[in-house]
A and B are shown apart, each in its own frame.
Chain A
Amino acid sequence: MQGFIYPNEFELHWSLLIVLYPYLTGLVAGAFILASLERVFNVKEVQPTYRLALLTALAFLIVAPLPLQAHLGHPERSYEIFLTPNSRSAMAMFGFVYAWYLAVVLLLEVWFDYRRDLVGWYQSAKGPKRWFYYALTLGATDLSEKSLKFDDSAGRWITVLGIPSAFLLHGYVGFIFGSVKANPWWSSVLMPVVFLLSAIVSGIALVLVLYMVTTMARGKPVNMPCLDRLAQFLFYAIVIDLSLEILDFIHRLYESEESIEILSQLIEGRLFLSLIVLQLLLGTLVPFVVLGLTTHSFRPKPLIQVPEELRRMLFLLSAILVQIGIFSMRFNVVIGGQLFSKSLRGLTVYKVEFLGIEGLASTIFLLLLPLFILWLLVKILPPWGEEPWNQKPSEVAAIQG
């Protein structure tokens, strides 16, 4: 403790679990927006990541409410948010935004996109597996050209609907913090936008990592044009995200409101490692420079020509650094916003506990859980498009040949 804090500010009320919440939802929104690049904006290069991105979004969305639930004083009462929501409360809308996103956007899109495959798996499998896939088709086994066309256009329209939904999902998370007028570190109209952009950054980076890892694990060659394109989009997203963060910073500094002194102390002291070193230097500037130099972001040719092998490593490294940076950003918002007193006269300390519901161990568990769910989803719904019915006749011939 340093200076004066209100006696009730002795403890932090939102801990690592609440850091996880915007981090996980951000990955969902980001991964979905990446998927929509292929579907709606016809960026054909990133096609190999389309389904992986969808499943990633789904896996992380399933886990996203868990840290919130675990954090509640009375988890058994959480259903009240649906039954008697306070219409004036930003947080009350979470359940609805979440349900909309899960049920209407993600599940529907996955279903339409996979229906052809589900039918294929159903027809080719035997025993319980056959019935499992039949259940997943919901009985819609019609594979006529007309119905496949309908799948495609339905999927496209859901994606079109999904883009504003993804914006809503994560912009809304930003609003939960940005609308707290009592807290000058949170209260900013830019907060939802910054959250959204950082979500896109983290989502693209995650899919890039997952794509590389899964491809290597399957012993397949990495599709380099796809990777180059992903890295390029990652770079663009970082540029916009960084610009917004700098704008926010300059705006605060220039307005120099009464909170500026305590916030400066916060940044120079308590948040130095997580904000200046991890978020800004390692998580943003290093990837910014690396990707800026090695991707096709400015001209048809990159500023520095790097051999493929090295480029892959650099992209992977940048994407991992971006993850660290974005996680730090969520930490700096959630925890940073509680490290200074609302009397603006002092700073408090955050002690991370290891065990316990709000501890480091459960945070790590909740970070790994979506990866496990993703593994399951990939087992059930292989996203690689390698089934015989997905191959063009010439490719089938080549495989058989």
Chain B
Amino acid sequence: MSLIPSDCRECPPGSVEPEGVDRRDFVKKMAAACAAGVPVVLGVVGVPGVNGQTVDGERYDPTMHYYGMGVDPAKCIGCGRCVNACKTENDVPRTEGAFNTWVERYVIRNDGEVIVDSPDGGMEGFPELADEAGIRKSFFVPKLCNHCANPPCVQVCPVGATFITQDGVVLVDDDYCIGCRYCIQACPYGARWFKEEKRVAAKCTFCYHRIVKGLVPACVEACPTQARIFGEVEGRATPLARFIRFNEIDVLKPALNTRPKVYYANLDGEVR
């Protein structure tokens, strides 16, 4: 799997290291490792991401994690920075029909009419609303792959190229996918797209190359209002577990029994 980085160039510059790591120390190690440029050396100095190590220098153990994401639509301001960050971080083409994450705007008018839009996936923000007096309410909803526990996309893949990792992330193996696009059809959320460049199915990876280093996904990091909370689904005191505990939680299209692991707080019933 190419998602687990094997050299230091894959460590995104400017990423924020978790608490407990001295920033200066971290940068120093990075510079030294990049200069050395030899994987063996990198392993010895304990540079993040090498040999599956976290930024703390610990070995990453996928069986010790089970990831999900919390989304608080009330906090989302529709700035689109998450979409931008994702495109940059994951080399997602800035063309139509290629989004690992996007933001939808819901406008519910006084007569009950619902208008939804997502121009360019909300990447450049949203146009001003006209006739504000006629609007009952409006809000933004960030969307992404739900990393379902019972994912129909994984079920339908004829060769098993898309799979659930031990830590609960749904991934696609680019070197194995035959490009039949059955998974794109099977996803009820429109979360998958076809990567023309590699002729394979593509999707949100929860920034797997980052989370194995103990970093959060790019969209989470870029969000100025902390509308997205990434972390461990299980446990009691993790940020995501607390988010789930203290909010009314909904998932998208629960009737389909896909068991999504993206949890929405106080979600309006109009959101599909």
Point out which of B114, B118, B159 has the most chain A C-beta atoms below 10 A from its C-beta: B159
Does B19 sit at the interface, judged by CB under 8 A? no
Partner of A180, one of B99, B161, B186, B190: B186
The answer to whether A81 touches B97, judged by C-beta atoms less than 8 angstroms apart, is no
Interface check B230, CB cutoff 8 A: no
CB–CB B194/A13 < 8 A: yes
CB distance from B182 to the nearest CB of A (A): 5
Check B99 against A7 for contact (C-beta < 8 Å): yes
B116 and A343 form a contact (CB under 8 A): yes
In chain B, positions 64-112 with a C-beta closer than 8 Å to chain A are 96-99, 102, 104
Q: How far is the CB of B57 from the nearest CB of chain A, in Å?
A: 36
Within the complex, what minimum Cβ distance (angstroms) separates B138 from chain A?
14
Docked CA distance A80–B155 (Å): 16
Determine whether B177 belongs to the interface, using a CB cutoff of 8 Å to chain A: yes
A342 in contact (CB, < 8 A): yes
A10 (CB) vs chain B CBs: closest residue: B97
B59 within 8 A of A: no
A6 at the interface (CB under 8 A from B): yes
Residues of B near A9 (CB, < 8 A) are 97, 190
Q: Which residues 73-90 in A have Cβ within 8 Å of B in the complex?
A: 73-75, 77-78, 80-81, 84-86, 88-90
A214-240 Cβ-contact flags toward B at 8 Å (1 or 0): 000000000000000000000000000
A window 286-342: CB within 8 A of B = 337-338, 341-342
Check: A398 CB closer than 8 A to any chain B CB.
Answer: no
Q: Is the interface of B mostly helix, strand, loop or mixed?
A: loop
With a CB–CB cut-off of 8 A, which chain A residues contact B182?
89, 91, 176
Question: Please, what's the 1-or-0 string for B143-163, where 1 marks a CB less than 8 Å from any CB in chain A?
Answer: 100000000100111111100
Contact yes or no, B256 A182, CB < 8 A? yes
Q: Given B158, B199, B200, B272, which contacts A86 in the complex, CB threshold below 8 Å? A: B158
Contact B190 A341 (CB under 8 A): yes
Give the shortest distance, in Å, between B35 (CB) and chain A (any CB).
38
Which residues of B are in contact with A by a Cβ distance under 8 Å?
Answer: 96-99, 102, 104, 114-118, 120-121, 143, 152, 155-161, 176-182, 184-194, 198-201, 256, 272
CB pairs A–B below 8 angstroms (15 shown): A6-B143, A7-B99, A7-B118, A8-B102, A8-B190, A10-B97, A73-B178, A73-B198, A73-B200, A74-B177, A74-B200, A80-B178, A81-B178, A180-B185, A345-B114
With A7-B121, A9-B97 given, name 19 new contacts (CB 8 A): A6-B190, A7-B99, A7-B102, A13-B181, A72-B178, A72-B179, A73-B178, A73-B180, A74-B177, A81-B158, A85-B159, A86-B158, A92-B158, A92-B159, A181-B152, A182-B256, A343-B116, A343-B190, A345-B114
